[in-house]
Homo-oligomer: A and B are copies of this chain.
Amino acid sequence: MREVAIIGVGAHPTGQFTDKSLKDLGYTAIWGALKDAGVTPEDIDVAYVGNSLGGLLTGQEGVRGQVVLQHSGITGIPVINVENACASAATALRGAWLEVASGAADVAIAVGVEKMYVGDTARTIGALSSVSELDLSQMGMQFTTSYAIHPKINLKGKMKEYGWTSADFAKPAVKNSYNGSLNPLAQHRRALTIEQVVQSRIVVDPLTLYMCASISDGAAAAVVCAADMASKFTSKTPIRIASCVLRSGEYRLPNDKRLDSATVSAQAAYEEAGIGPEDLGAIELHDAMAPAELMLYERLGLCGPGEGPKLIDDGTTTLRGRLPVNPSGGLCSRGHPVGATGLLQIAELVWQMRGEAGPRQIEKRPKVTMAQNQGGLLLGQDSAVYGVTILKS
């Protein structure tokens, strides 16, 4: 396998863009990435397009990628439409990486695009239910509800087991809202306090409004190429993909013990990249609900059981800390247009690694970073999909 580098990224701002279609959102991200990479549509050998709700919300199923790419002037090449719920964009990036790593392609583009504002919130929420296993949504469990009471997530149980409080759950949202306030691409650009987050209205106990990612339109794209070809296209620092791991559901061991795939996928990514958590200089992770960030700290090997809130209390994961997490603002502040999120994470990390992140630039420019993107729920299991990417400059 060849070394693969990200040579360009682009993103559409996240938020409500009533007049914009999937095509329009995609165009901004695709041309942002093409220009950043110094490539033309003719240079692209293959495209992977992640989208989750286009069929249900816009009526465009089937050939969503071709439709978006053609609008941006890219046609004739293999286009692979991939879908993995909220991890669709990580799945797209992995596809592009594999094409180039294997030598099947020299230059590939990964696109994530999502249109969630369709003038009918109930319809959007209904569509979101369909990204979990149908048996769950048929129990009437809208996604946030599943998240709150799913036995494998078990937020109330964590409060008992670890002594976590509502204020602890609010901490990632507060930290990330500050980061988002500095990000011109973010959906929500206001720094919140613990009180504001805890006292915002309850969505599903113990989750309050500001602990939950909101409905969002958005798009992001990344151009990748063989690492040794990067300088042909651009003089910017190429960002190498050190590992790009995807896992689904749980690992069943012979003794019928199960391992959660959040942990397994992170371990696999560290191993493949030849690094450990101590080597990371920044992380973008999947905080669709703020408390998830605390649990992911454990699963990514950043701290021991129950120690998540401390990493925020002591400043470790803040923008000026040793290991900033979600410098973009994360899903709750930067925004979570589901099929685009994984590539919005990648775009943020690339900007941070190149020192192009403006007022939210991490002071010590990170050299090794991780994007962690997950999605969907399966009955009797944890999240359905986990994508972990480690980047090195």
Interface residues of A (CB under 8 A from B): 1, 52-53, 55-56, 58-67, 69-70, 75-85, 91, 94-95, 98-99, 101-104, 127, 130-134, 137-138, 245-252, 259, 261, 264, 375-378, 381, 384-385
Q: CA separation between A78 and B259, bound complex, in Å?
A: 15
Cross-chain contact B83 with A127 (CB below 8 angstroms): no
- A78 to chain B: which residues have CB within 8 Å? 94, 245-248
Cross-chain contact A84 with B62 (CB below 8 angstroms): yes
Cross-chain contact B79 with A81 (CB below 8 angstroms): no
Q: How many copies does the complex hold?
A: 2
- A250 to chain B: which residues have CB within 8 Å? 75-76
Chain B nearest CB: distance from A143 CB in Å?
A: 10
Supposing A52-B62, A60-B133 touch, asked if A98 and B91 sit within 8 A by C-beta, the answer is no
Q: CA separation between A99 and B80, bound complex, in Å?
A: 14
Chain B nearest CB: distance from A321 CB in Å?
A: 32
Chain B nearest CB: distance from A103 CB in Å?
A: 7
Q: CA separation between A250 and B98, bound complex, in Å?
A: 24
Among A52, A91, A134, A248, the most chain B Cβ lie within 10 Å of the Cβ of A248
Question: In this complex, what residue of B is CB-closest to A41?
Answer: B252
- A76 to chain B: which residues have CB within 8 Å? 247-252, 259, 261, 264
Q: CA separation between A326 and B60, bound complex, in Å?
A: 31
Of B59, B98, B131, B378, which contacts A137 at CB under 8 A? B59
- A264 to chain B: which residues have CB within 8 Å? 76
Cross-chain contact B75 with A248 (CB below 8 angstroms): yes
Chain B nearest CB: distance from A41 CB in Å?
A: 9
Question: In this complex, what residue of B is CB-closest to A77?
Answer: B248
Cross-chain contact B58 with A56 (CB below 8 angstroms): no
Cross-chain contact A62 with B130 (CB below 8 angstroms): yes
Chain B nearest CB: distance from A83 CB in Å?
A: 4
Question: In this complex, what residue of B is CB-closest to A264?
Answer: B76
Cross-chain contact A1 with B102 (CB below 8 angstroms): yes
11 A–B contact pairs at CB < 8 A? A59-B130, A62-B130, A62-B375, A63-B133, A67-B378, A69-B248, A75-B251, A78-B246, A80-B95, A101-B102, A102-B104
Cross-chain contact B246 with A80 (CB below 8 angstroms): yes
**12 other contacts beyond A63-B85, A78-B247, with CB at 8 A cut-off?**
A1-B102, A61-B83, A62-B83, A64-B83, A66-B133, A66-B376, A75-B252, A78-B246, A81-B83, A95-B95, A98-B98, A102-B104
Supposing A59-B130, A60-B130, A61-B131 touch, asked if A249 and B103 sit within 8 A by C-beta, the answer is no
- A248 to chain B: which residues have CB within 8 Å? 63, 65-66, 69, 75-79
